Amino acid sequence: METSSKPARRVLTPGPDHPIFIEPNPRRVRITVGATALADSRGALTLREAGYLPVQYIPRQDVSMQMLERSDHQTYCPYKGECSYFSIPSAGERGRNAVWTYEAPFAAVSTIKDYLAFYPQGVDSITEEP
């Protein structure tokens, strides 16, 4: 009898060697493609991870979900978990897999559940306003 199973995925906890900080962003965050606002939020979270640039995570209720299309693409982060993606059809090829979300994030980053993040190159602008 042959069995196939996926190899166990590493689960790592943020710490001094790989810090992750998540904090509310007090500013209004707007994300646009063309003249259309995909997201407009005063409830964004800023995630700072190790040596990466800060990322704005937007609550789903502040995103025009009807403008997104779920994709089959998935990735895995040992610090955050399984990552799912959406495409932005109106952005053309650059909008492919331009939005990501951790729908069941690990406990250490559980506050990003039900939030979406956008690749800057997949949209026209990500702005922060007072």
Q: Report pLDDT digits (tens) over 70-112.
A: 999 999 999 999 999 999 999 999 999 999 999 999 999 999 9
In the chain, the number of structural domains is 1
Residue 3 lies in a domain: no
Mean pLDDT for 55-70 is 98
pLDDT of 45 above 70: yes
Residue 110 lies in a domain: yes
* CATH number of the domain to which 56 belongs: 2.170.150.40
Residue 63: phi and psi, rounded to 5, are -115, 135
Q: Which range marks the domain in which residue 38 is found? A: 20-129
Residue 14 lies in a domain: no
Burial 14-50 (b: 16+ CB within 10 A, else e): beeeeebebeebeeebbbebeeeebbbbeebbbbebe
Q: Is the dihedral of CA 78, 29, 99, 62 positive or negative?
A: positive
